[in-house]
Structure 1
Amino acid sequence: MSNRVVVVTGGRGALGAAVVKEALADGLSVASIDHGSGNAPDEAVLEIGGVDLTDPAQASKAIEAVVARFGRIDALLNIAGGFVWQTADDASPAWDRMYALNVKTALNASRAALPHLKTSIEGRIVNVGANGALKSAAGMGAYAASKSGVHRLTESLAEELKSTSITVNAVLPSILDTAQNRADMPDADPAKWVQPADLARVMLFLASPESRAITGALIPVTGRV
């Protein structure tokens, strides 16, 4: 894995930060692309902030900045996204917003990165779907529908790229053990949740050359739930 260049979208979030940390520990060159901005957690990280990945032009500009710094891209980990709990009769439906944050960000980043991934010996795209999108629940319609879109994007893109060395897979986590989730669900047992570092390890395996035999897979990462 050493010397491989990994791009992490949503790198400033809880999962993104865990992936960046684990990737650095593996000796990878890391670029973090995020809507937020600020100092990088490590000077070795190329931090590209203020990027709206729902805009294809901004996604392309950010990816080109990575190539300008490192010369290539070997793996794209699409973590940028969002969540909302909302019933269908809400006065301000979030369906379009969920689609934009979860599907369009992954699509735009992937489209921008593909020309560069095709020049890598072992190109990889790893998306983040959701185990909760396999069977939805009350208030989860908009989010689950958008993550289902990520699942279908993963499968279709994997088929489209089978003639290349690029693989495309997705992880389907259940609840992540984050500060926000603990605040939102104070009565739940976080011991059963998925640690961001554990999910990061699965994603980095899928981003590695060793995962070459896996493509189009939707891999549940559900901890002990």
Structure 2
Amino acid sequence: MTPLNIIVTGGFGELGTAVSQAFARNGHNVCRVDYASSPATTIDHTLDLAGIDLTKPLDCEKVASTAKNTFGGIDVLVNIAGGFYWGNLDNSELSDWERMFGMNLLTAVSMTKAALPEIQQSRSGRIINIGAIAALSADAGMGAYAASKSSIHRFTESLAKELSTSSTTVNAILPSTIDTKANRTAMPDADANSWVTPDAIADVILFLSSSAAHSISGALIPVSKGG
């Protein structure tokens, strides 16, 4: 198997770490990108780029050029970077909405734009975004978050159609609540048995990156254990 060259944004978080570990275990080259100054968990044989602001085109261009120069190209981009905010409209500020769209949409758009020329040079070009089940039907207080994640869904569909005549595919994973330490801390009374694990999401991302998924594009794939 020829190793793929992977960029994982939000690569230092729990989901990003699980995805990066899964790719690395399968012999692929992984570039982890994050806004944080350093990763909490190290992974052997990965390229870690810290302190990257993915809302800034120049930072994204730096990531793309570094990955290309280190690995020789870019095959797969996994846009995990993002964030969460809960607040009703009457107690939220416009800055809260701007932050959600910046973290959840603009990071993906900016990094995709920077990496796309190299991805399109690959016969295995893949772009995989992280949407959200919660964006399909938003509960009270979820307006800013759900709107920004819904934008990821529409971005995924639109870009897939733009690239439909190429070998590059574009898909989105729609997780339900992810079983992370942060979510368990934030929701100590919730039933985590119904949550989806980062490893389960990583399995789906690996499949979408494989040759078996070459005909899947524009899909919004729920990863929710049926919830």
Query: Could you tell me which residue of structure 2 aligns to residue 51 of structure 1?
Result: 52
**Where does residue 70 of structure 1 map in the other structure?**
71
Aligned to 1:15: 15
What is the CA-CA distance between 1:183 and the residue it aligns to? 0.8
Normalized against structure 2, the TM-score is what?
A: 0.96
> Which residue does 2:102 correspond to in 1?
100
1:37 deviates by 2.5
Task: Choose which of 133, 141, 149 in structure 2 pairs with 1:139.
Answer: 141
Task: Give the drift of 1:43.
Answer: 3.4
Deviations for 1:41-82, whole angstroms, at most 9, x for unmatched residues?
A: 123000001100011111111111111100100000000001
Is the 1:7–1:73 contact (alpha carbons within 8 Å) kept by the matching residues of 2? Answer: yes
Structure 1 gaps, min length 5:
none
Q: Distance in 2 between matches of 1:158 and 1:37?
A: 33
Aligned residues: 225
Contact 1:2 1:26 in 2 (8 A): no
Moved over 4 A (4+): none
Q: Which amino acid aligns with 1:47?
A: D
Alignment of 1:5 with 2:5, yes or no, is: yes
Given the two structures, how large is their TM-score scaled by the length of structure 1? 0.97
State yes or no: 1:216 paired with 2:218: yes
Counterpart-to-counterpart distance in 2, 1:208 and 1:111: 22
3-state SS of paired residue (1:69)? helix
Aligned to 1:204: 206
Q: Distance in 2 between matches of 1:42 and 1:221?
A: 25
**Is 1:35 paired with 2:35?**
yes
Structure 1 residues 208 and 214, CA, compared in 2 at 3 Å: closer, same or farther?
same
Gaps of 5+ in 2: none
Distance 1:34 1:2 in 2: 26
SS of structure 1 residue aligned to 2:115: helix
